Amino acid sequence: MAIHKRGRQSFVLPQLPVIRNWASVAGKKESEGPLAHTFDITSQDTYFGEKTWEQAEKKMQQMALHKLAEKAGMKKGEFELVLSGDLLNQCIGSSFSLRNTGIPHLGLYGACSTMTESLLLASVMVGGGFADKVVAQTSSHFASSERQYRFPLGYGGQRTPTSQWTVTGSGAALICSSGTGPRIECCTLGTVTDLGIKDANNMGAAMAPAAFETIRAHMQDLNRTPEDFDLIVTGDLGQLGKELLLELGRRNHLPLGGKLADCGTLVFDNTTQDVHAGGSGCGCSAITLCGYLLNQLNEGKLRRILFCGTGALLSPTSTQQGLPIPGVCHAVSIITGRD
Amino acid sequence: MAIHKRGRQSFVLPQLPVIRNWASVAGKKESEGPLAHTFDITSQDTYFGEKTWEQAEKKMQQMALHKLAEKAGMKKGEFELVLSGDLLNQCIGSSFSLRNTGIPHLGLYGACSTMTESLLLASVMVGGGFADKVVAQTSSHFASSERQYRFPLGYGGQRTPTSQWTVTGSGAALICSSGTGPRIECCTLGTVTDLGIKDANNMGAAMAPAAFETIRAHMQDLNRTPEDFDLIVTGDLGQLGKELLLELGRRNHLPLGGKLADCGTLVFDNTTQDVHAGGSGCGCSAITLCGYLLNQLNEGKLRRILFCGTGALLSPTSTQQGLPIPGVCHAVSIITGRD
């Protein structure tokens, strides 16, 4: 049997799976941000026509999947597997979205790293010949997250300067064994890293060490340097977490300056949109990837990126019990299809 | 590239991954049941030495992983990946268990189907050459589930006759590309199936249609019949769900009688242990597999089983919002290592 594993945490894909199509759905605030023109669908209604925010999240996933099928010129029933998850308790955004569609589904929980986790596993399913036409998808919603993780919105709680704004949106990508589009070369699995941060309003600080560990593992396992990439893009460290990651890089002889971008700082304009430290949530990296980043890769404006989804693996219960916030980060290396 | 997909939802594994070792940890009530002698570790302390039930669940996962390493004659650091999830909000049992261990982790959410989902993805990672020495693991805890999904235990609520008893336990299995032990032949991915059951105290009824759909897909995709198996084992349908599945089989010309067993009815003695319709929870199928079933397969007393984890994809929020309970079921075909 051919062994595709490299180093401690990484593997290569013998025949590069192709990201053939992608689609994104975003909310009102996202539609006022710098990436507005890259979303397929935006809505001014935070309920997306549903009765509750949780159902709105389900609806966004359904809309993104529908749009993806349309862009791919396929029927949804032709998708062979959807790998998806979200932040809601028991991931009901994902499971209710796929109810009675007949599409096979594997549910994931990687907090805000889920877009990368789903891409990574989709690559394995397609690259290994176990399935084709596999969808990687996730979502988050500002209002459903706020009331689940923090306070009811009507309470009007003050947000701390380190807090981030959960993106309302869903992104979906179609991974195939053939066709044209950006391609996935190799992936690095993340470990659960915790340096003891306990402030649930400072996710960036909790996730930065995990991001650093995974980026370092990727470089070591595959004998690469940051210079091999046009961009190293983390999921939702926000302004503060991004600075901490740069500092970790400097201290550990892995300078990331000039290469590092973060979806949490790309998706909103931090100076005018009052989002404090930036965007967050599964949807943050999902809509940034399934729009801006994949468009740039497709057009050859970016030639290789390391897409590093970052997740804070806390729950309100773990926080109430005084526990710290473990972070995780998985990485997927994507190259342009223009070669 | 070799294509391993078969039919609509299934795939075969070209070189059969081996389940080389397995370990289980169980609670007090489980240690009084018919499978008591098959568990590696049992505890009379529902807290497993921790301060909270959520932390007890984390501890059970740590104990099962430790025991697995011991039985495998390996250091935990040699595990290349742990695929795991649980029922706690944001799966904190799994993520806190692996905190700062340095072991790569992918988090899953399949409700009580998680043991099968993790086995399935472990088979893909190992069978495709993307990783080796991969652990599939999950857990559940009666007390943490009751308070999260239903009522505080101290409230002393009456349980309905259709309700099931969440198993306190964790099971872990080590999947390798070589070695001896039961082997995984092929897998079937489940779809999210919902016939409109809304009673959150009747999970068996909600999950039975998903189990039927997946078992039917497995037989069709791989041209098999129930006669090809010694046992078809569902995860946690309980007594009622098992009867409904048998009825679905009869009505759809796929008779399962004589072949069907359910971990929820194996793990407790329903006549003496006051568990109403039987056991449930991720841990239910996990400790039944990582003990009784794998022992029987290893000894050649069972030669081929279809292990069908069943999950009810509800959350307290979806139930409060009046939504039905979607079910999912994945299936993994396991054969004896004695050939």
| pLDDT reported for residue A256 | 97
Whether the predicted pLDDT of B339 surpasses 80: no
B52: nearest CB among A189, A321, A326: A321
pLDDT, tens only, A189-207: 999 999 999 998 899 999 9
Collect all residues of chain B within an 8 Å Cβ-Cβ radius of residue A198: none
Asked if A109 lies within 8 A of B109 by C-beta distance, the reply is yes
- Contacts of residue A191 in chain B, CB cutoff 8 Å? 98, 101-105
Query: A331 to chain B: which residues are within 8 Å by CB?
Result: none
For residue range B110-158, list pLDDT tens digits in order.
Answer: 999 999 999 999 999 999 999 999 999 999 999 999 999 988 888 888 8
Q: For position A151, what pLDDT does the model report? A: 87
User: Is residue B7 within 8 Å of B222, Cβ to Cβ?
Assistant: yes
Q: Residue A267: is its pLDDT beyond 80? A: yes
**What average pLDDT does this structure show over B35-45?**
98
pLDDT at B1 over 80: no
Please check the confidence at residue A217 and state whether its pLDDT lies above 90: yes
Q: How confident is the model at residue A181 (pLDDT cuts 50, 70, 90)?
A: very high
Mutation choice for B interface testing from A192, A193, A332 by most B CBs within 10 A: A192
Average pLDDT, chain A: 96
Mean pLDDT, residues B276-283 taken together? 95
- Give the SS3 label for residue B18: strand
Mean pLDDT for the stretch of residues A13-36:
97
B217-240: pLDDT as tens digits: 999 999 999 999 999 999 999 999
Residue B286's pLDDT is 98
The whole-chain average pLDDT of chain B stands at 96
The encoded tokens of residue B94 equal 């799994």
B81, B96, B130, B191: best mutation site toward chain A, by most A Cβ within 10 Å? B130
A103 contacts in chain B (CB < 8 Å): 191
**pLDDT average, residue stretch B233-252:** 97
Q: How confident is the model at residue A270 (pLDDT cuts 50, 70, 90)?
A: confident
pLDDT of B100 strictly over 80: yes
In this structure, of A145-159, A173-187, B29-43, B292-306, the range with the lowest mean pLDDT score is A145-159
Band of pLDDT at residue A339, cut at 50, 70 and 90: low
Contact A132 B92 (CB under 8 A): no
CB-side neighbour CA atoms (13 Å) of A289: 39
Please give, one letter per residue, the 3-state secondary structure of A203-271: HHHHHHHHHHHHHHHHHHHHCCCHHHCCEEEECCCHHHHHHHHHHHHHHCCCCCCCCEEEHHHHCCCCC
% of chain B exceeding 70 in pLDDT: 100
pLDDT band, residue B200 (cuts 50/70/90): confident
pLDDT of residue B338: 82
Residue B53 has pLDDT above 90, yes or no: yes
Q: With pLDDT > 90 as the criterion, what percentage of chain A qualifies?
A: 93
pTM of the prediction?
0.98
- Cβ neighbors of B132 (< 8 A, separation 6 or more) are A3, A5, B80, B126, B176, B177
Interatomic CA distance for residues B187 and A175, integer angstroms: 20
Query: Counting one residue from A and one from B, how many pairs have CB atoms under 8 Å apart?
Result: 204
pLDDT tens digits for range A27-83: 999 999 999 999 999 999 999 999 999 999 999 999 999 999 999 999 999 999 999
Of the residues B6, B76, B106, the best mutation for testing chain A's interface (the one with the most A CB atoms within 10 Å of its CB) is B106
pLDDT the model gives residue B157 = 86
Give me the mean pLDDT over the A130-156 stretch.
94
Helix (H, G, I), strand (E, B) or coil at B12: strand
Q: Mind listing the pLDDT tens digit for each residue in A279-330?
A: 999 999 999 999 999 999 999 999 999 999 999 999 999 999 999 999 999 9
Question: By CA distance, what is A104's nearest residue in B?
Answer: B191
Q: To the nearest whole percent, how much of chain B has pLDDT over 90?
A: 93
**Cα three-residue angle B48-B308-A127, rounded to 5 degrees:** 100
ipTM of the complex: 0.98
pLDDT in tens, B165-185: 999 999 999 999 999 999 999
Could you tell me which residues are beta bridge partners of residue A311?
A328
> Could you give the angle at the alpha carbon of A80 between the alpha carbons of A75 and A82, nearest 5°?
95
